[in-house]
Structure 1
Amino acid sequence: MKIIHLILFAALGLLTTVDLTAQVISRSTSQPIPSSQLQISDQMTTNLIFPFAIKSVDRGNRNILVQKASAVENILQVKAENSGFQNSNLTVITEDGRFYSFAVEYQEVPQNLNLKIQKAGNSDLADFGNQIQVESELEETAGKVATKNRSMPTLRQRRFLTGIALTGIYIEKDLLYFQLRLENQTNIPYDIEQFRLFIRDKRQNKRSASQELEQIPLLVYGDADRIPAQSTQSLVVVLPKFTIPDQKHLKIELMEENGGRHLQINVKNRHLMNAMQVD
């Protein structure tokens, strides 16, 4: 009997230890972070104002349209692609390493269109330990792409002796590198007000609102603020890999500040399919 009792006590002790260990592991490996509610519409734009510049944005699905406000780094503009939008989520990380999570739902008339986001607590800090190295690698690869010769039939637009041209598309580690050439053959410098990349329909019904899916670069290598007089310069834009749905194209748009020399080119999915590896 004593042996049986000893075995039972040992088994009970082992089960208790396993249970306590499981509880410790559970507490140490899982810490829920609550999400904020966010209402968006296809007819109105919601503006999220963060305390620091936006580092990265992840959308739960492609029906959430996002773009950074022009000329600032801490305002994110959010919109629904259509009224059939299903509930999703949005994740934003700012340059100070803080993490913000939103549960997104459709509302024809959102209760709030302009939201000032309060600074998250220390528990919501993201780890950018490897990010600095990643950014340096991006710059190194973008530098290589900038010096390459043209690798595709050039897509270009020229107006008023200024121009933008796409001369190459490259891919490495699930990232796309767009090689652009900007030129200004006039004596008047071209100050860039907006430089945007977005996916939109090839043909837009006049009665329907224009729906644009902003593509936010991970890196812009080169001067995206000005094209000096009588100059030609290279620009490399780095984006996470993507493909373009049927009946849509990627529009690359350059708009002049206080001027009318606006430039744009359209990139089709077949151009992406011919992306070359970076040597």
Structure 2
Amino acid sequence: MKITHIILFAAFGLLTTVDLTAQGIYKGASLSIPASHLQISDQMTTNLIFPFAIKSVDRGNRNILVQKANAVENILQVKAENSELQNSNLTVITEDGSFYSFAVQYKEVPQKLNLKIQQAGISDLADFGKRIQAESELEETARKVATKNRSMPALRQRRFLTGIALTGIYIEKDLLYFQLRLENQTNIPYDIEQFRLFILDNKESKRSASQELEQSPLLIYGNAERISAQSNQTLVVVLPKFTIPDQKHLKIKMMEESGGRHLKIKVKNRHLMNAMKVD
């Protein structure tokens, strides 16, 4: 799925909202949430604009293509793999704990391409158990991780005298901390256009977006914008804890702005199982 840096909003569709009904469990009784209707096409991109950053996305059918727009955390772009898509569903949870459910239907020309999603009410909040730590606490833990020595055989890729390496995975309070080393042994600074993490099938299709499940960092500690010439630096990426299903892997991908020194590494579930505690 091709992403553009500028999303053109149709004037008649920009203010469209999706209303959701609350779900909860009260003394053994449950209330269902009727899904909002969503039309998608294989020739046109539907944009869902949420009030908060997207925390997780689940597709009922792998032929639904999803990914976040470049440089933003709250816009989800959706397409169909092909015109054979059967009726399915899409679930989105945002970082404030809000839950959104969509009944997805193929439509060659969707009636609305840009949907501004209405903020969920207090009773729509999903129960994640423990609340996310304060950002200052995350930064302090990330700082500790950044100063640690390598704790695992590095997973790395080097190209054109630049490189990225995963050198440690740590866990604390249901959060995973990924320690990454970035290097640039050239005299040309490396400006980072994209830094993404997503779970992907081991066997990637030509339209790999159909298999992607974006992982949205709670915090990136360090300079995620540039690697200066002749330098090395450390990034610590903080994510809610997760494991990787069979036949899938976590891909960490870094792309250079106006350049070709793109880098990526694969992380398997066995690497996550060796996550160390932060002392």
Between the aligned partners of 1:207 and 1:178, the Cα distance in structure 2 is: 27
1:37-65 deviations in whole A, cap 9, x for unaligned?
A: 32456786431134x55264454869576
Do the aligned partners of residues 125 and 246 (structure 1) sit closer, same or farther apart at CA in structure 2, a change above 3 Å counting? Answer: closer
Amino acid at match of 1:90: T
Q: 2 CA distance for matches of 1:140 and 1:85?
A: 47
Equivalent residue number for residue 4 of structure 1: none
Residues 18-33 of structure 1 correspond to what in structure 2 (within 5 A)?
Answer: none
Q: Are 2:180 and 2:235, in contact at CA under 8 Å, matched by a contact in 1?
A: yes
Q: Distance in 1 between matches of 2:117 and 2:245?
A: 37
CA displacement at 1:248 relative to structure 2: 2.0
Larger radius of gyration: 1
| Separation (CA, whole Å) in 2 of partners of 1:221 and 1:40 | 36
- Within the alignment, does 1:101 sit opposite 2:100 as a pair? yes
Q: What TM-score, normalized to structure 1?
A: 0.71
Shift of 1:124: 8.0
CA contact 1:185–1:231 (8 Å) conserved in 2: yes
Distance in 1 between residues matched to 2:72 and 2:172, nearest whole Å: 29
Deviation at 1:182, TM superposition (A): 0.7
Q: Following superposition of structure 1 onto structure 2, how do residues 176-191 of structure 1 map, counting pairs within 5 Å? A: 176-191=176-191
Q: Does residue 175 in structure 1 map to residue 175 in structure 2? A: yes
| Structure in which a larger fraction of residues adopt helix | 1
Residues 1-279 of structure 1 mapped to structure 2, 5 A cutoff:
36-40=36-40, 45-50=45-50, 52=51, 54=53, 56-57=55-56, 59=58, 66-78=66-78, 87-93=88-94, 99=98, 101-107=100-106, 109=108, 111-112=110-111, 114-117=113-116, 120=119, 134-204=134-204, 211-279=211-279
8 Å CA contact 2:93, 2:99 repeated in 1: yes
User: Partners of 1:149 and 1:107 in 2: how far apart?
Assistant: 50
- In structure 1, C-alpha distance between the alignment counterparts of 2:248 and 2:125, rounded to whole Å: 35
Which residue in the other structure is 1:21 paired with?
A: none
Change (3 A) 1:264 1:66: same
Query: Which residue of structure 1 lines up, in the alignment, with residue 15 of structure 2?
Result: none
Structure of greater relative contact order (alpha carbons < 8 Å, 6+ residues apart): 2
AA aligned to 1:203 is K
SS at match of 2:245: coil
**Percent of aligned pairs sharing the same letter:** 66
Q: Report the secondary structure of 2:134's partner residue.
A: helix
Contact 1:33 1:124 in 2 (8 A): no
Residue by residue over 1:24-47, the C-alpha shift from the partner in whole angstroms, topping out at 9 and shown as x without a partner, is xx9xxx999876332456786431
Q: 1:85 and 1:207 mapped to 2: Cα distance?
A: 18
Q: Distance in 2 between matches of 1:225 and 1:141?
A: 21
Task: Specify whether residues 100 and 268 from structure 1 end up closer, same or farther in structure 2 by C-alpha distance, changes over 3 A only.
Answer: closer
* Equivalent residue number for residue 12 of structure 2: none
Equivalents in 2 of 1:244, 1:227: separation in Å? 29
Secondary structure of the residue that 1:149 maps to in structure 2?
A: coil
Tell me, what secondary structure is at the counterpart of 1:270? helix
Shift of 1:250: 1.3
1:102-147 Cα shifts (integer Å, max 9, x gaps): 33324264725632306548878979xx978532222222111111
- CA drift of 1:70 comes to 0.9
CA distance in 2 between counterparts of 1:208 and 1:172 reads 32
TM-score between both structures, scaled by the size of structure 2 = 0.71
Q: Gapped runs of 5+ residues in structure 2?
A: 1-25
Partners of 1:113 and 1:154 in 2: how far apart? 46
- Residue by residue over 1:212-267, the C-alpha shift from the partner in whole angstroms, topping out at 9 and shown as x without a partner, is 22212122111111111121111111122222222222111110000011111111
Counterpart contact for 1:218–1:239, Cα < 8 Å: yes
Change (3 A) 1:155 1:121: closer
Give, in whole Å, the separation in 2 of the partners of 1:201 and 1:133: 31
| 8 A contact 2:97–2:125 mirrored in 1 | yes
Q: Would the aligned equivalents of 1:98 and 1:124 in 2 still touch at CA under 8 Å?
A: no
Preserved CA contact (<8 Å) 1:195 1:253 = yes
Q: How many residues align?
A: 247
Bigger mean CA deviation after superposition, 268-277 or 67-76: 67-76
CA contact (8 A) 2:170 2:277 kept: yes
More displaced stretch, 230-239 vs 252-261: 230-239
Q: Are 1:38 and 1:102, in contact at CA under 8 Å, matched by a contact in 2?
A: no
Root-mean-square deviation (Å): 3.7
